[in-house]
A and B are shown apart, each in its own frame.
Chain A
Amino acid sequence: MQFKPPGVTRAAPGGPTEKHFMIINHHTYSLEYRDLGGRRLAQLAAEINFEPASECTTLAAQRKAHPSVTQARRNTTTIIEPIPHSTAGSPYVSGFAVKIGAEGIESFSREFPTSYFRAAAHAGSAALVKKGVMKEGDRFHYLVAAHPQVGALTEKRRMIVQQIEQPLPLRDGKLAEFTKQSVPFGELLEVDPPVYLPQEVIEQANALTERARDKETGGILIGHLYQDSSIPDIGVVVTAQIPARHAQGKSTELTFTPKTWAAVRDQIALRDRGEIMLGWWHSHPGRYWAATTCAKCPPERRRVCPISSNFFSAHDENLHEKIYPKAYSVALVVTNTEEGLRQALYGWRDGRIQQRGFFIQRNQDRPLTAIEAVATPEDHDHEKTCT
């Protein structure tokens, strides 16, 4: 199917070779909350960020070397379209589709279920608890409704900002060669692009975590994207971690400051290897949390306590979403537990951040001591302390 973009594009600074893209969404969305008996509790408007879904669709097309991304000579467009609910009827939807393409090129699309709205549903439920419509801990269902935007106000802006489409900085390579030097770590799924982390990066992250003791620490993962046209697929190859200088580490928080970003950028420029930022890593001093918060708990209970296990907190998700929107981006978490250091990798899958497997590129001169920690990132169990 050929793609007909509905938008109009303009020339912009950077010259005629610069390609722009835009996300077109002609609907607003709302969430209808129902109790487990099906009784309607409330309906709330939902602000949905479609960027992760758009990026996920784009990367899926790029991994398959689809014409929508490889042949597009003109500005590409991403269209968000609701999928009507087969039984509940209009305006309810069973999800939405993301369609990407450029004029005259075959389009590429992916569908996303209503679980994409889960974070918004949780945020809305917190507001309903405050209003007394629901009680803390109440279970609920939600339905998603799409409403056509009518007469949207066109705000006159003092300056015009347009997204610039950036082609992936791909290098040619055989992913099998990387896999041959590596050992798998965690659950590897076909839907995730393969990620290769050098053993040294894990060792450095471990050492910095130990050194930071009861404070959080972290850094930026840099490297290259490799395209293997024989499969075809794209692999994420981390080459180094850059410690987050000027970051403010506390017991339960790690703040990346403007000076941190500037220092990382300077470091990448100094290395002069064409590396890009592929993600980040940070530590959780779980054993120190357990020693304070869970001091009265017996050791066997502390061992299974959610706060000393690995997880990706709501703040971690917020940082990843804001700073690393590209679907290939990953986040390593090193947790300092009473049983030792545990590692887990998180990344985008179906437009949501989830734990994922990866490959560790072995250094044959040294033993590998990484231990996987399995987490349930979306439930935020770690916030439910037993005290």
Chain B
Amino acid sequence: MIQLSNISITASDPSGQRRVAVEDVPADSSIGELIDRLSGAMNLGTSDRRGRPLTVQARLEREGRHLHRSERAQDCLKPGDHLVVHPKIAAGGRRA
């Protein structure tokens, strides 16, 4: 049986103002799990101001694509990869 090792990567928020190092991403973890962890570390939160769940995607810079939450780390990430976390976030004028 092949022993899959954990992966270490870096990630940043959409503005590039926050940058984190992520150690020991379990090879069997989902990208959704990784995104949730990164959203917390980057103070993005889990919901918007109206209480709706925050939609967050991660873009794999090496491939220039957004990853699916269901993808497995071992299938799409390589050591040293960089992800950019992209939330769907609203600004707003006034009470609708």
Binding site for B on A (CB under 8 A): 10, 12-14, 18, 20, 49, 51, 157-164, 166, 216, 218, 251-258, 261-262, 264-265, 276-277, 280, 282, 284-286, 289, 307, 313-316, 318-319, 321-326, 329, 382-383, 385
| Residues in chain B near residue A216, CB distance under 8 A | 91-93
* Residue among B14, B19, B23, B38 with most chain A CB within 10 A: B14
A365 CB to closest chain B CB (Å) equals: 33
B49 contacts the other chain (CB 8 A) = yes
Contacts A258-B66, A261-B86 given: A161-B21 contact, CB under 8 Å?
A: yes
Cα distance, A344 to B57, chains bound together (Å): 31
**Is there contact, CB below 8 Å, between B15 and A323?**
yes
Using CB atoms, name the residue of chain B closest to A312. Answer: B91
Which of B33, B43, B80, B92 interacts with A49 by CB under 8 Å?
B43
**Is there contact, CB below 8 Å, between A18 and B21?**
yes
Main secondary structure of the interface of B (DSSP, over half): mixed
* Residue among A10, A313, A319, A323 with most chain B CB within 10 A: A323
Using CB atoms, name the residue of chain A closest to B95. Answer: A383
B76 contacts the other chain (CB 8 A) = no
* Residue among A20, A157, A159, A265 with most chain B CB within 10 A: A159
- The number of residues on chain B lying at the interface, defined by a beta carbon within 8 Å of a beta carbon of chain A, is 48
Cα distance, A361 to B76, chains bound together (Å): 46
Main secondary structure of the interface of A (DSSP, over half): mixed
User: Can you sample 28 A-B contacts with CB below 8 Å?
Assistant: A12-B8, A13-B8, A13-B10, A13-B23, A18-B21, A51-B43, A216-B93, A252-B93, A253-B92, A254-B92, A258-B59, A258-B66, A261-B14, A261-B84, A261-B86, A264-B14, A276-B16, A284-B93, A289-B94, A307-B93, A313-B94, A322-B43, A323-B13, A323-B15, A323-B87, A329-B17, A382-B93, A385-B95
Cα distance, A170 to B59, chains bound together (Å): 27
**Is there contact, CB below 8 Å, between B87 and A159?**
no
| Residues in chain B near residue A385, CB distance under 8 A | 94-95
**Is there contact, CB below 8 Å, between B86 and A325?**
no
Contacts A258-B57, A277-B16, A318-B48 given: A161-B90 contact, CB under 8 Å?
A: no
